[in-house]
Structure 1
């Protein structure tokens, strides 16, 4: 792959406005946002930024399309045909979507290609599910028959973060469309291009006007969507702090909401592990996207009897990673997304050292990478559960290795967190691993790996969120059950 060329690879309409009511519309105001290349720190392109009037126009379009348009009134199978065509478009544009990811936040091209290819299967899954899901059923009642309808909840506001806009939006949008909802998407200001390209693909696939509306906005625009009485459902992915604010606003007007928030996931190595087998599987999940992803396994729990061995072996793997040009095929870790992230990660390294943790490797900018926002893979040892670097989400390439005495102690440490998104357990005995995994208080735990697939629900416990995305559970998040009981 070569560096991204926005003027040549993106349409003028996409670069100049928002998709509202089936048409590309210029912004009402002259606000703009710079998309900065994280590997050089230079401006890649300048895009419009939505104002209040643009957001309101998108919301009104979605409301009208839901109240009066065909989409909610089509059968699930009919909707599935359109969603399947969107999947075809995503597959055809997979290379472009991967390049957008690399260009905007420095995702290494190999990583970007792998996960950009995940979008089409998500849409295919929900296209198929829409075709056979039981949107209606009957059950016996005391006096006759209860007719149960699962109707689309209404207009859905979808708010995605900058780090993984494509896969996260795919889960939300495919499920919302399968349910029959109309949608307003707030694309993040740091990485707006994926949502805008999906809007083009959806329009070409024959999605009716007003069903999908996309604006690029910052926090104020997201808050406007969340607060709007014309929005029936919010699906938000982002920080726990922001998620709590979304929940409060939704509860105030009793809007439905799904939250996928932060994580501080634990990878537990049981005492029988073979490190030569485990580390090649585990390592990619500890710092994916330079650690800027919610499911990163940022806490490694090792048995006390093998602690020094684990620390040395894991740090050796991390020190062997190539940090650099995200467009190079051999790069393992690209830059952090922006200067704000670089400062945040640097601050946490200082916090860890001040708390008494031992810095094994990394801790700052790699030698020779003076431009951009590159940060070395960083490993801390001698970390205890009370330390901030063991409790708080750093969102960077920082992993802590913690010692445990026995399995009961390992489970206690794994659960000693406010978060509960994912987890992994590694062992030579999968049955033993499964028994241990059932005790971890997290939404998804995998034995000897990490899996996220379209047909399986994904989401967290505790402060990692409310609700699930993926699988039938993800579809049901956009449905409202209604019952009509008829006497015999």
Structure 2
């Protein structure tokens, strides 16, 4: 393992390291509490950051409230807001290398993976800038008495809460749509990965966003609970665990605040009997345990025809067993560390549960013996898995995949749907239309045929306990809007002057 190559004091602005961004200014935290940020590749803290208290949260919400109630942002045209989003995108694009390095430093994403996905943040800003400039924020409909004008108003002050695992890409979905809609926002950055959102605040400041439109604090679960409960917050957009999502939903329900939830997943890849082995493996493997499986859309259940089970298990296990586990700063590393010691212990516990319940480990199965520091787990494949087993039902959030055999397509669909979740999924086949027909039967928010893709103009979100609402596409913009109908009488005929 090489030495830790990220120096926050030389790579990050002092404001990002020690302050919050509130009401257009970098402000000293009111709290004296701080929290260490631990590098997963070493297991050691590399910096400490301030943690917001309730007073800091209140200041951020008050700034967002003033900006919404009396400021210019909600009353701007969509085209004018689009100009600001475009400037933010340019500022963000100039920091791509830094943002990739932050992702690797904070949570151990392999640097090639970070390099690939960090640009999606600028792409989301660009997409919503274009959409805001053309979107029909007002339209007219004829009525019996005259006309109704349908005005799509911004929902108000929004709390944006994205998780530690992919802070920047997930935040970009929420932030781009919220700003395009005319909302003002308070971003709660997670203490495990605080710097992405604060660098975004730098970009907003550089782009000249009016004061109070975008505010960023770093807060733990207590700070987040205080933020979500505030009556001045009109909407909460949360991505994270299903358990936390349920708590947030109950809090919002108490005052009927709007809420969007993108929660856990236990996604299934269905390999149909006509799928060619090698192309299927090439397309599937990258999405079964990307970023050590710490991505909600990971295809962690692979459903294969029983007649091809042995062939598939052997071929897939050889590939997974050959993945390079190591230093996330090394461009050749395929599997980096888990994000924390807690994640490490959680994943090891699931591996033990799979073993104890009778599943067969075909590769991996424990903590990496080649790494004496950091939070490394061997990529692990289970065969002989049934849908009743814990590893087939619960989201593990680690490099662990279950292979389940089926007898016919009806059973494959039933197995795919036999879960509390419904976020993502894939179908592999030599017949695309057959794949489409199968995908239509899967109760999940997103399904790809012969691969996995996400696009800014396409909605993302889940069925069942994978969430409520959608992000991305026009649907993501609509999630930050309220429809107001204003009825107007027919125009009175003018009196003709003689």
Normalised by the shorter chain, which TM-score bucket?
over 0.9
Q: SS in structure 2 opposite 1:330? A: coil
Superposed displacement of residue 117, structure 1: 1.1
Partner SS, residue 337 of structure 1: coil
* Match 2:193 to one of 188, 191, 202: 191
Higher mean C-alpha deviation, range 463-472 or range 356-365: 356-365
CA distance in 2, matches of 1:3, 1:109: 12
Q: TM-score, normalised by structure 1?
A: 0.99
Aligned counterpart in structure 1 of residue 148 of structure 2, from 142, 146, 149: 146
> What TM-score, normalized to structure 2?
0.97
Structure 1 residue 283 displacement after superposition = 0.5
Query: 2 CA distance for matches of 1:142 and 1:342?
Result: 65
Deviation at 1:367, TM superposition (A): 2.4
The answer for the alignment partner of 2:127 in structure 1 is: 125
Tell me if the contact between 2:348 and 2:367 (Cα under 8 Å) persists in the aligned partners: no
Q: Which residue of 1 aligns with 2:274?
A: 272
Q: Map 1:74-223 onto structure 2 (within 5 A).
A: 74-223=76-225
Which structure has the greater CA radius of gyration?
2
Aligned residue runs from structure 1 range 63-82, under 5 A: 63-82=65-84
Aligned to 2:473: 471
Question: Deviation string for 1:115-134 (max 9, x for gaps)?
Answer: 00111111000000000000
Aligned pair partner of 1:30 in 22, 29, 32: 32
Any unmatched runs of 5+ in structure 1?
Answer: none
Q: In 2, distance between residues paired with 1:167 and 1:298?
A: 21
SS in 2 for 1:419: coil
1:62 maps to what in 2? 64
**What are the superposed Cα offsets for residues 278-333 of structure 1, whole Å, 9 maximum, x if unpaired?**
11110010001100110000000000000011111111110110000000010001
Matches within 5 A, 1:33-432: 33-432=35-434
Separation in 1 of the partners of 2:58 and 2:431? Answer: 56
Does 363-372 or 68-77 show the bigger shift?
A: 363-372
Q: CA deviation at 1:354?
A: 1.1
Deviation of the 1:405 alpha carbon = 0.1
* Whole-angstrom distance in 1 between the partners of 2:370 and 2:443: 42
How far off is 1:142 after superposition?
Answer: 2.4
Q: How many residues align?
A: 488
SS of corresponding position for 2:447? strand
In 2, Cα distance between the equivalents of 1:138 and 1:19?
Answer: 40
Q: Deviations 1:89-128 (Å, cap 9, x if unpaired)?
A: 1111111100000000110000000000111111000000
Residues 426-456 of structure 1 show CA distances to partners (whole Å, capped at 9, x for unaligned) of 0111111011100000001000011111000
The corresponding residue for 1:484 is: 486
